[in-house]
Amino acid sequence: MKKMLLHSCCGPCSTAVIDVLKDDYELTIFYYNPNIDTEEEYLHRLSEQKRYCEIIGVKVIEEGYKSEDFLSKVKGLEQEKEGGARCPVCFKIRLSRTAQVAKEMGFDCFGTTLTVSPHKNAEVINAIGKQVEAEEGIEFIEGNYKKKDGYKKSIILSREYNLYRQNYCGCKFSKE
């Protein structure tokens, strides 16, 4: 079974994605989200991710709160609307770091939970993932986890596990 480092934006989004992938991959969650607007929000989401993964027996690696990684790269894109030019930059930051860590730690491949959200464009995310695969030399596993009611399932599982569900992607620009 291939070892996958799965980037996760939050516990609720990871639920349905882990459920889809767990039989085909040995999963480890990588929690790296420099886009999150405050350290308090970051830690709250991380805590929920860890709590859920502890229940289901999946390991979590986290990078730490590094908002400067995001803010420095999106400079000039602050006024973009949610889904605009800022978002692909954010996806690339997180997928690139996931691929680097996966390679460093001897994983076979990497992926992301980002495509479970109906607010995220899976085609854009998967194209960025494939670009990062070529740049970093590690396989990206494409997915569109909102299909087959994946998002709906994530809501159900979040309720079942009483997970905190935020109402914005995390960056202060989307919050506004």
Identity of the residue numbered 26:
E
Residue 166's φ and ψ, nearest 5 degrees, are -75, 160
**12-48, pLDDT tens digit by residue?**
999 999 999 999 999 999 999 999 999 999 999 999 9
- Does residue 96 carry a pLDDT above 70? yes
Tell me the β-bridge partners of 163. none
> In this structure, what CATH number is given to the domain that contains residue 151?
3.40.50.620
Q: Which domain holds residue 66?
A: 2-175
Output the six-digit token pair for 136.
């970093």
Separation CA 56–CA 11 (nearest Å): 12
pLDDT at 175: 64
Q: At 168, is the pLDDT very low, low, confident or very high (cuts 50, 70, 90)?
A: low
Burial 1-22 (b: 16+ CB within 10 A, else e): eeebbbbbbbbbbbbbbbebbe
Output the six-digit token pair for 1.
């079974």
- For residue 75, which of 174, 175, 173 has the smallest C-alpha distance? 173
Burial 62-83 (b: 16+ CB within 10 A, else e): beebebebbeebbeeeeeeeee
**DSSP-derived secondary structure letter, 114:** G
Report the domain count for the chain: 1
- For residue 8, which of 74, 68, 39, 53 has the smallest C-alpha distance? 53
pLDDT at 152: 92
